[in-house]
Chains A and B, each alone.
Chain A
Amino acid sequence: GNSVTQMEGPVTLSEEAFLTINCTYTATGYPSLFWYVQYPGEGLQLLLKATKADDKGSNKGFEATYRKETTSFHLEKGSVQVSDSAVYFCALSSRGTDKLIFGTGTRLQVFP
């Protein structure tokens, strides 16, 4: 079945450091891929998405590229801020379904 695997956290960084959170997936066909972010005490929000191979999603300085050859969708940011501290979820949606499949989430902690 379809699944998403994320690197375990927490990821602890100093402000302005480079961020990578790894995400790989298993799916039949050509799924759409997403990163959602959950700030403390809140629900999830869509951060970025990519709907086909080689697409790059970007938002708020975060980027992720849909790599079909490596079945990956790694999240990157060049310079993190304290306000980026949150839990990040990678997710996929297969064509013809109404459901998202989430990874387990990666907690990011950024210190000044």
Chain B
Amino acid sequence: NAGVTQTPKFRVLKTGQSMTLLCAQDMNHEYMYWYRQDPGMGLRLIHYSVGEGTTAKGEVPDGYNVSRLKKQNFLLGLESAAPSQTSVYFCASSSQRGGSYNEQFFGPGTRLTVL
């Protein structure tokens, strides 16, 4: 199993450009998440999905959109990139609800720079 994969690994954008980050998982997990990681701030949740066709906002959703058309894929879109969106983006998936147990499996990350 590949686990959680992300494409691309690196990307440089100019301000105002758009792009889509792709996350794929082969573990048949119901739940998928997009985080951004910034120095000194840990991981912050952007959007998440609790099943195919569903999405929900996380802690920092502004400037991002997501779609979950297939269970195994979770797409993160930036419609008009801004320098403040320079970050490392991680996708994760999990098979159980939060509460007593909630192990999330992470992809390797996408490093995005917006000039």
> B43 → chain A, closest Cβ, in Å?
5
Q: Which one, A42, A49, A99, A103, contacts B48 given CB within 8 A?
A: A99
The answer to whether A51 and B109 have CB atoms under 8 Å apart is no
A43-B4, A43-B109 given; A100·B102 CB < 8 A: yes
The answer to whether B100 and A45 have CB atoms under 8 Å apart is no
Whether A69 is near chain B, meaning CB under 8 Å from some CB there, is no
> B56 → chain A, closest Cβ, in Å?
8
Chain B interface secondary structure, helix, strand, loop or mixed? loop
The answer to whether A42 and B108 have CB atoms under 8 Å apart is yes
Contact with B along A75-112 (1 / 0, CB 8 A): 00000000000000100011111111011110000000
The answer to whether B102 and A93 have CB atoms under 8 Å apart is yes
CB neighbours of B103 from chain A (8 A): 34, 46, 49
Interface size on A, residues (CB 8 A): 23
> B6 → chain A, closest Cβ, in Å?
8
> B66 → chain A, closest Cβ, in Å?
14
The answer to whether A43 and B108 have CB atoms under 8 Å apart is yes
Whether A32 is near chain B, meaning CB under 8 Å from some CB there, is yes
Whether A17 is near chain B, meaning CB under 8 Å from some CB there, is no
The answer to whether A98 and B48 have CB atoms under 8 Å apart is yes
The answer to whether B101 and A98 have CB atoms under 8 Å apart is no
Cα A72 to Cα B43 with chains together (Å) = 20
The answer to whether B90 and A95 have CB atoms under 8 Å apart is no
Residue of A nearest to B43 (CB): A102
A32-B99, A96-B98, A99-B48 given; A45·B42 CB < 8 A: no
Whether B74 is near chain A, meaning CB under 8 Å from some CB there, is no
Contact with A along B79-115 (1 / 0, CB 8 A): 0000000000010100001111111101111000000
CB neighbours of B107 from chain A (8 A): 43
For the complex of A and B, list the 8 residue pairs with the smallest distance between their C-beta atoms, beginning with the closest.
Answer: A43-B106, A95-B99, A97-B98, A104-B42, A93-B102, A102-B42, A44-B106, A93-B98
Question: 9 more A-B contacts (CB under 8 A) besides A44-B104, A51-B100, A89-B42?
Answer: A32-B100, A32-B101, A43-B92, A51-B101, A95-B100, A96-B99, A98-B97, A102-B42, A105-B42
